[in-house]
A and B are shown apart, each in its own frame.
Chain A
Amino acid sequence: MLEIANVRAGYGAINILWDVSISVPTGQLTTIIGPNGAGKTTLLRAIMGLVPLSQGSIRLNGEPLDGSSTWSMLERGVAMIPEGRMIFKDMTIEENLMLGAFPKAQRASAQANCEKAYAMFPRLSERRTQLAGTLSGGEAQMLAMARGLMSDPKLLIIDEPSLGLAPVVVNELFEILARLKAEGRTIVLVEQNTHKAVGVADHVHLMQSGKVVLSKPAAEVSLEALHELYFAH
């Protein structure tokens, strides 16, 4: 269980998150949706320790997560698939994947996890020696996902995976998310594609201007009501 309680965070003098509280149950998919500038990415960055908290706490299974460094997150079983993929363009696909298992504890199982990733994303396997910069947007997103899975994380944090992708690829992507959920991983998904995100999620949170304005189980969410809130000012 990931518990985000009363979190305030931002960039320097500009505060973005205003007392955000969200709890993410283990083994379920929690989606955070909201318009641009709502603070979704900032919240994920705060979980990963890329943005310091000025108030509140973030706990994973009771242990505080805030204050620990970004690079120690993998050892705690948390992996992030960042917005805009952030793949390493000048390196081959295989090198990108291997980097996903950088911490010493992960290196032993890196080869096995790499094969698993290739099984899940066959297109990457065909291109393993190509430079990542030559991939299409969809393939790059698959690579970012595969890299995130290299450390076999329990908690996956995924930031806008469908950004700029063709509908067919988006469908494929959400099938993979459903599979990851079925594997028993805890997932936090930030999305703009409300229809798809609510479809795959167990819990839905809507953020607006740095606050959580709606928290509901996915089954109780009506898309129309959600969209009304989404577009409200």
Chain B
Amino acid sequence: MKMSKTGLAVIFAAYVLVPLLLGSNSYVMSLIVAAMIIGGIALAWALLGNLGGMVSFGHSAFFGVGAYVSAILTMKAGVPVLAAMLLGGVGAVVASLAMLPVLRLRGPYFALAILAYAHIFKILATEWTSVTGGSAGLASVPRFPTLMGFDLSSKTGSYLIVLSLLLVFIAAYRVIRSSHYGIALRAMHDSEDATRVVGVNSTLLKALMLFVSAFMTGVIGAFNVHYINFLEPDYAFSGLWVTLPIVAAIFGGYRTILGPLVGAVTVYLVDQLIFKNLIPSGHQLILGALLVAMIIFSPGGLMPLLRKGTRRKHAAA
């Protein structure tokens, strides 16, 4: 895979400079980690929503199932945390198997049906008290281990884990987008019948993308539970785990890889650092207004806007 110099520089800065410069400020680090969690879900969501045109309101289910599977495996079966995180992703894929019938629906019907499915898992987590602890939740979920003398459960350690996850996701997204399947996904956005006519098994393709997206979201959910060490159904399956990423993915940019990430970091940080100070409760209101403004003035999202800005600077120079 080709990687640009700026790309390498950004990765270097993310791995070395951010921990060195901001590592001591745990408030800022926790904001960054939270923004990256949203970014991870936004990227997984964008794989379905931006690339394949399947708008899902149900990703909070994958987030919650991933979290529960990983938490329960570490607490009751003694599985090591990092392995359990991957199994959390697998758990989310298993949950997505139940959602396969929804793939027959399109557009808003798909979005609503998958939202209903997401609710089923929340009810399961609440009612299956013997395993999930019910609505009281699970306390003291194991933290990240210490690896080669480095404490991964520290703010900086958690930051490095989520950063690595995101980089793997970006790589996976890039590979998928540039493959035959990526082209077929984009085509499906235009007309599913036409893609079938050119020989694409669209049902299988949609199912595969749902699995990949569910896996990514599940892993992020599992990361989050070991990061905060606590879990309860209302939190794990909260609608915010899907609404914020959707806002981020749309805000960031249509069909770009970095869009959802840039969108997540921007949206989350601006929301937490500025809007929350202005209006302590209900500050998400401004996000909604901002999204509307974005759709009107730059339907392509933040990324094209940024590029336009740099181009203008070049022209002026």
CB distance from B182 to the nearest CB of A (A): 10
CA distance A198 to B191 in the complex (A): 31
A73 adjacent to chain B (CB < 8 Å): yes
Establish whether residues A75 and B199, one from each chain, have CB atoms under 8 Å apart when the complex forms.
yes
Distance A75 CA – B186 CA, assembled complex (angstroms): 22
Contact of A99 with B184 at beta-carbon distance under 8 Å, contacts A71-B200, A106-B199 already known = yes
B1 on the interface (CB 8 Å rule)? Answer: no
Task: Report B-chain residues with C-beta under 8 Å of the C-beta of A95.
Answer: 183, 186
Q: In the docked arrangement, what's the CA distance between A102 and B200, Å?
A: 7
Whether B183 and A70, one on each chain, are in contact in the complex, defined by CB atoms closer than 8 angstroms, is no
- Which residues of B in the span 144-203 have a Cβ within 8 Å of any Cβ on A? 180, 183-184, 186-187, 189-191, 193-202
Q: Determine if B190 and A74 form an interchain contact, defined as CB atoms under 8 angstroms apart.
A: no
Query: How far, in Å, is B133 (CB) from chain A's closest CB?
Result: 45
Chain B residue with Cβ nearest A69: B201
Closest-CB distance, A165 to chain B (whole angstroms): 19
Q: What interface size band does chain A fall in?
A: 20 to 34
On chain A, the residues within 8 Å of B197 by CB distance are 48, 50, 70, 73, 79-80, 82, 86
Q: A88-B191, A90-B190 are in contact. Are A70 and B184 (CB under 8 A)?
A: no
Report B-chain residues with C-beta under 8 Å of the C-beta of A80. 197
**Chain B neighbourhood of A103, CB < 8 A:** 199
Instruction: Check A86–B184 contact: CB distance below 8 A.
Output: no
Contact: B199 with A86, CB < 8 Å?
Answer: no
Bound-state Cα–Cα, A70 to B189, Å: 18
Contact of A151 with B by CB under 8 A: yes
Min Cβ gap A98→B in Å is: 6
The answer to whether A8 has its CB under 8 Å from any CB of chain B is no
Decide if A88 touches B186 in the complex (CB within 8 Å). Answer: yes
Task: Report whether B193 and A99 are in contact in the complex, using a CB–CB cutoff of 8 Å.
Answer: no
Query: Does A10 sit at the interface, judged by CB under 8 A?
Result: no
Closest chain B residue, CB of each to CB of A50: B193
B199 touches A73 (CB 8 A): yes
B193-237 contact mask (Cβ, 8 Å, vs A): 1 or 0 = 111111111100000000000000000000000000000000000
Chain A hits for B194, CB < 8 A: 82, 86-88
How far is A108 from B197 in the complex, measured between Cα atoms in Å? 19
Q: Chain A residues with Cβ under 8 A from B199's Cβ?
A: 71-75, 100, 102-103, 106, 151
**Is A90 touching B189 in the complex (CB atoms < 8 A)?**
yes
Interfacial chain A residues near B201, Cβ < 8 Å = 69, 71
CB-CB under 8 A from B196, the residues of chain A are 50, 69-71
State the CA gap A50–B199 with chains docked (Å): 12
Give 25 A-B contacts (CB < 8 Å), ordered by A residue. A50-B196, A69-B196, A73-B199, A74-B199, A79-B197, A82-B194, A86-B190, A86-B193, A86-B197, A88-B186, A88-B191, A88-B194, A90-B186, A90-B189, A90-B190, A91-B183, A91-B187, A91-B190, A98-B183, A99-B184, A99-B187, A99-B195, A99-B200, A102-B200, A151-B199
Which residues of A are at the interface with B, using a C-beta cutoff of 8 A? 48, 50, 69-75, 79-80, 82, 86-91, 95, 98-100, 102-103, 106-107, 147, 151
Starting from the known contacts A70-B196, A90-B186, 14 additional A-B residue pairs (CB-CB under 8 Å) come to: A50-B197, A71-B199, A71-B200, A74-B199, A79-B197, A86-B191, A86-B194, A86-B197, A88-B191, A89-B190, A91-B187, A102-B198, A102-B200, A151-B199
